Amino acid sequence: MGNLENGGQNKSTGLEKEIQTDFQKDMSYSDYLHLDVILSSQHRLSNHHDEMLFIIIHQTSELWMKLILHELNAAIQSISRNELEPSFKMLSRVARIQQQLIQSWNVLTTLTPADYMQFRHKLGSSSGFQSYQNRLIEFALGQKNAHTLAVYKHQVDRYDSMMKSLHEPSIYDVSLLALSAHGLPIDEKVLNRDWSQSYVPNLSVEEAWLTVYRNTNKYWDLYELAEKLVDIGNQQQLWRFNHMSTVERIIGHKKGTGGSSGVTYLKKVLDHPFFPELLSLRTKL
């Protein structure tokens, strides 16, 4: 056995003999994930210890948002093809990712107001308000606002791609088209509306969803789709609430670094839930 014992373990390294250690010609874990790029992208503008926390929380949040958009856009395409079942896995994944984002606020609350004030001035006019991925998530969930695109005009390609997303149907829009495709009556003004406008509740939509909920055996796929949408709508509201309460805990009612009213603005956003008929129908069931 030479220097091998314990089922093929190398005594000098403590590794199993089949474990690869030479990556001169093969791709390693770090290579595949481009870890050198990712882990060298945290550049503090101050010497304060807690700025690293602030940067990493926001960077990882943007990575999770990228995955949310990946899943939401795929779900929209799936529902548009009237292939509802594949979208359920995607939407379930979105809800799980949202839970990760919600929990991240709990980590950020370890940043005290006194510590944050030591480096807040270094942020300049940069603000989470400018997160284009968060804006795209809102668009995909049906809350459109063309005025918010003004902050991206300095980046022409990004502005153009966001304008394109603004004019595309949201996941709720394609879900309502699916209701119609299943023979449920939906007002034409809903089915042929301007996708760039925020969705406005409609009685025919509420009645259609009520039909689904009262006949779950007949419309099981639509029923499951509805509940998946409720899940992600609720999670997004929880994320918003935790965002607001974390900001309030750390900076109180100071203005945001990007010029917004801060907590006051975030509280107003909470008054605009997603998928309104899926909430209102519960009172009528």
CA 29 to CA 10: how far, in whole Å?
22
β-bridge mates for residue 9, sequence order: 5, 16
CA 266 to CA 249: how far, in whole Å?
13
112-146 pLDDT, tens digit each = 999 999 999 999 999 988 999 999 999 999 999 99
State the pLDDT at residue 78: 98
59-70 pLDDT, tens digit each = 999 999 999 999
pLDDT, average across residues 271-281? 95
CB 136 within 8 A of CB 166: no
Higher-confidence position of 21 and 10: 21
Q: Is the dihedral of CA 197, 203, 206, 207 positive or negative?
A: negative
State the pLDDT at residue 17: 85
SS3 call for 107: helix
Which DSSP symbol is given to 263?
H
**243 annotated as ligand-binding:** yes
**57 annotated as ligand-binding:** yes
Binning pLDDT at 50, 70 and 90, where does residue 186 land? very high
Question: Residue 53 belongs to what H/E stretch?
Answer: helix 51-80
**186 annotated as ligand-binding:** no
pLDDT, average across residues 231-244? 95
Tokens of 129: 């308000």
**257 annotated as ligand-binding:** yes
**121 annotated as ligand-binding:** no
Kindly list the structural domains of the chain, giving each domain's residue range(s) and its CATH number in brackets, ordered by start.
Answer: 48-279 (1.20.58.480)
Cβ neighbour number for residue 271 with a 10 Å cutoff: 6
* Cα of 138 vs its chain's centroid, Å: 8
Question: Residue 166 belongs to what H/E stretch?
Answer: helix 156-166
Report the mean per-residue pLDDT for the chain: 93
Percentage of the chain exceeding pLDDT 90: 86
**56 annotated as ligand-binding:** yes
Tokens of 2: 């030479």
241 residue type, one letter: F
